[in-house]
Amino acid sequence: MTIANDAVGSKWYETHNWRLLFFSIWTGQALSLLGSRLVQFGLVWWLTKETGSATVLATATLVAILPQVVLGPMVGALVDRWDRRRVMIAADSAIAAATLALALLFLADLAHVWHIYVILAVRSLGGAFHMPAMQASTSLMVPEQQLSRVNGMNQTLQGAVSIAGPPLGALLLELLPMQGLLSIDVVTAMIAVTPLLFIAIPQPTPQSGGGSQSPGVRPSVWADFRAGLRYVWSWPGLRIILIMAALINFLFIPAGALMPLLVKEYFDGDAYSLAVLEGLWGGGMLLGGLTLSVWGGFKQGTKTSMVGITGMGLGAIVVGLTPSNMFALAVAGMFLSGFMNPITNGPLFATLQKSVAPEMQGRVFTIVMALAGAMMPLSLIISGPVADLVGVQVWYILAGVGCITAGVIGLTTPAVINLEADMQAANVVEESSPAEEEVLPDLAGPLAEAVD
């Protein structure tokens, strides 16, 4: 029997055992994340062994992110309209079905590179729906004062999976055929769906018009999307962060996508060497996430993120400059970069969850992710030929320089450092305004003046 959703909005957690309900869902998602990590490791190593091509690896990463970049903003508008629990159930089920189809192709010895491209795209589309639904639901199920710690736990989970996934994936590749590895992901996805069948997730109260909008008439999906884009772009600090993120992702994503070639061609390693490098990245994420969970970060969340970005850059430069006979030094650099990853991402997600209206969070999260990743397709298109010409390590050096530059700019820009305080102050003003205000006000003018 489905647990009743008696209260909606930010007070739901006051009338429910939020820890039991939220972490029941969270645990299922954690297992599914591990299954996905195993699949990712297995497919990437299969592509590396079968082709040895930087262009193939870059293309695989491109098709895995393109659906989220292109369709993400519109998906967010749909997530804000639909039942978020059902969205997550459908997304997890679709991903499981796609993975099962690929497992059957491997079983029949019919799998080709293009099949993997297609399945990666389908999995990405499912993730485009799942991520904003889960992030937006978190802010409704978890008390505001606990959001930073929950995001720290999410980052810790990412680190733990990154530690366990590569060595476990390498071991399973020795023990199981590829279809066996893929089947594990199908099982973990079904485990993730199970608690969602019995726990109702609180839904935000939809805004039903205002201003020129007729009472009870909801704007179109396109209008919702434009309102979300206007909302995101109205904050100078968030604009700057998104431009930084686009630049960093332009440089960092190819570095990660080409890591198997860095290990195989530059360091003359094997699957276990790749597992060590990725595992130590995960170890850094685990420790960084635990640190964030206990510490909570600076009072200004974006300040914490900027320090994290700077640290990620230092780690990337170490990896890029490491001689080919000093693999352990590259591992240390990867550990530092991994440690700083949750310090970067956790506080930023917490800032948005605390400050953005619940009924807009689906749009905001997908628009933020899409804008931050807007340059990634271009970087992945050129990364393969560039790496084939000058080596993979150049991407790590460029990514490190970009991160450090962005961190220094962010730490010295008031609009970035004060983003959370500015957004929450504007929310207080908006809540005290008359009810007939525009549904999604354009705040660019007054906010720009206030920040400047």
> pLDDT tens, 282-330?
788 888 888 888 887 888 888 999 999 999 999 999 999 999 899 999 9
Let me know the angle formed at the C-alpha of 321 by 318 and 324, rounded to the nearest 5 degrees: 110
Looking at residues 406-410, what average pLDDT do you find?
93
Q: For the chain, give the secondary structure using H, E and C.
A: CCECCCCCHHHHHHHCCHHHHHHHHHHHHHHHHHHHHHHHHHHHHHHHHHHCCHHHHHHHHHHHHHHHHHHHHHHHHHHHHCCHHHHHHHHHHHHHHHHHHHHHHHHCCCCCHHHHHHHHHHHHHHHHHHHHHHHHHHHHHCCHHHHHHHHHHHHHHHHHHHHHHHHHHHHHHHHCCHHHHHHHHHHHHHHHHHHHCCECCCCCCCCCCCCCCCCCCCCCHHHHHHHHHHHHHCCHHHHHHHHHHHHHHHHHHHHHHCHHHHHHHHCCCCHHHHHHHHHHHHHHHHHHHHHHHHHCCCCCHHHHHHHHHHHHHHHHHHHHHCCCCCHHHHHHHHHHHHHHHHHHHHHHHHHHHHHCCHHHHHHHHHHHHHHHCCCHHHHHHHHHHHHHHHCCHHHHHHHHHHHHHHHHHHHCCHHHHCHHHHHHHHHHHHHCCCCCCCCCCCCHHHHHHHHC
| Residue 208 belongs to a domain | no
| Residue 210 belongs to a domain | no
Q: Is the pLDDT of residue 439 over 80?
A: no
| Residue 78 belongs to a domain | yes
- C-alpha span between 262 and 257 (Å, rounded): 10
- C-alpha span between 414 and 300 (Å, rounded): 11
* pLDDT one-digit tens code per residue, 98-155: 999 999 999 998 989 999 999 889 988 888 888 888 877 887 788 877 777 777 777 7
The total of structural domains in the chain comes to: 1
Contact 161, 37 (CB under 8 A): yes
CATH code (residue 189): 1.20.1250.20
* pLDDT one-digit tens code per residue, 37-52: 888 888 888 888 888 7
Q: Which of 259, 288, 287 is nearest to 273 (CA)?
A: 259
| Residue 209 belongs to a domain | no
- C-alpha span between 336 and 330 (Å, rounded): 10
pLDDT, residue 216, reads: 52
305: its two tokens: 């993120």
141: its two tokens: 């199920």
| Residue 252 belongs to a domain | yes
* pLDDT one-digit tens code per residue, 181-217: 899 999 999 999 999 898 888 777 655 443 444 445 5
Looking at residues 166-174, what average pLDDT do you find?
80
Contact 40, 61 (CB under 8 A): no
Looking up tokens 């931050």 gives 372
Contact 448, 240 (CB under 8 A): no
What φ, ψ does residue 351 adopt, rounded to 5°? -60, -45
46: its two tokens: 């299969």
171 contacts: CB under 8 Å, gap ≥ 6 = none
Q: What is the dihedral of CA 443, 446, 451, 452, to 10 degrees?
A: 130
Beta-bridge mates of residue 3: 199
Look at the pTM and tell me if it is higher than 0.85: no
* Arithmetic mean of pLDDT over the chain: 79
What domain range includes position 341?
9-203+224-432+441-451
315 contacts: CB under 8 Å, gap ≥ 6 = 284, 333, 334, 335, 336, 337, 338, 339, 340, 400
Looking at residues 255-269, what average pLDDT do you find?
84
| Residue 283 belongs to a domain | yes
| Residue 41 belongs to a domain | yes
Cβ-based neighbour number of residue 114 at 10 Å: 10
Question: What single letter denotes the amino acid at residue 433?
Answer: S
- C-alpha span between 428 and 433 (Å, rounded): 9
- C-alpha span between 132 and 105 (Å, rounded): 31
| Residue 61 belongs to a domain | yes
Q: Cα 163 from chain centroid?
A: 18
Q: Maximum distance among all alpha carbons in the chain?
A: 69
